[in-house]
Amino acid sequence: QSFKLLGFLDVKSVPCARESVLYGSLGSLVVGLGHFLATSRVRRSCDFAVGGFICTMLGYWFYCRYNLAQHRIRQRMLKEGMRNKILFEGSSLDPERKQTGSERSDS
């Protein structure tokens, strides 16, 4: 069973959504409580808590999505490198193959 935040963000299946909401709620608690302890103004502290939630959630969302994209790029490069290694292994295009003097003069 899925949980949709705001009716469209499926927290269970979208990468980074769950962690972003959790860190956002923690950021909201810290900012709101900190502002309340500093000023003792309830309404203003709630406003700061909502702002802290939005900023923390969006900040972690972009951070997590950037790391996920970097991970996928590294994974794709590794997969292609392994495919090329299997494809070119033992052929004249293999970069790890040591060429003899007669092979060097031919190419």
What 8-state DSSP symbol labels residue 97?
S
What is the length of the chain? 107
| Per-domain boundaries in the chain | 15-85
Give the pTM: 0.69
Q: Which of 47, 60, 74, 75 minimizes the C-alpha distance to 15?
A: 60
Indicate if the alpha-carbon torsion angle 3, 5, 6, 7 is positive or negative.
Answer: negative
> According to the model, what pLDDT value does residue 56 have?
95
pLDDT score of 27 = 95
User: What is the per-residue pLDDT for 85?
Assistant: 80
Query: Is 23 within 8 Å of 53 (Cβ atoms)?
Result: no
As beta bridge partners, residue 4 has 10
Give me the pLDDT at residue 92, please: 72
pLDDT tens sequence for the chain (107 residues): 666 666 666 777 778 888 998 999 999 999 999 999 999 999 999 999 999 999 999 999 999 999 999 999 999 999 998 888 877 777 777 767 666 555 555 55
Taking alpha carbons only, the member of 20, 50, 22, 25 closest to residue 35 is 50
